[in-house]
Amino acid sequence: MEEVKVIDLENGTFVITDEILINGIKYVYLTNENDVMDFCIRKVKIENNEEYLVKLESDQEFDTAIQAFLNKHQDELKNFN
């Protein structure tokens, strides 16, 4: 077993797979705890010193977030044990 961080979204419980800072915005990569192929991306918005998760605004933003994830983790597919 391993301890992970989870959060409840509107459509289920998701595991925090990674966080990446892009242009000063923190993007959170979330994976459905019951299906590792079901994922989504949120970004963190700060209001009154509290962090909130909100959806992305465009396909372009989604692509940027995905590309940053790939850049960070590309080697992991080849080295997966």
Partner 1 sequence: MDTLDKFNQEDQEVLALVNKNYARARRESIEREQEERLRQTKIKYQTRPKNKQRDFVKKAIIGIVATATVLGVGSKMIDITKDNVARNEFVNIVADHVNDNVVYTNTLSSDGNGYTWYYDDVRKIAQETLNENKDIDIDTRIYGTYLGLNDYQRDEYMDKIMHELQDIVTENPLDYTEEEVRACNHTNFTDYLASLGMEKDDYIRFMRDVTLAYGQNDIEKVQELLTKLNGGGR
Residue 4 φ/ψ, nearest 5 degrees: -125, 170
The residue to which tokens 């044990």 are assigned: 81
Among 20, 36, 48, 49, binds partner 1 (CB under 8 A): 36
According to DSSP, the β-strands at 39-47 and 25-32 are: antiparallel
Q: By CB under 8 A, is residue 55 in contact with partner 1?
A: yes
Binding site for partner 1 (CB under 8 A): 1-11, 13, 15-18, 28-29, 31, 33, 36-42, 44-45, 47, 50-59, 61-62, 65-66, 69-70, 73-74, 76-78, 80-81
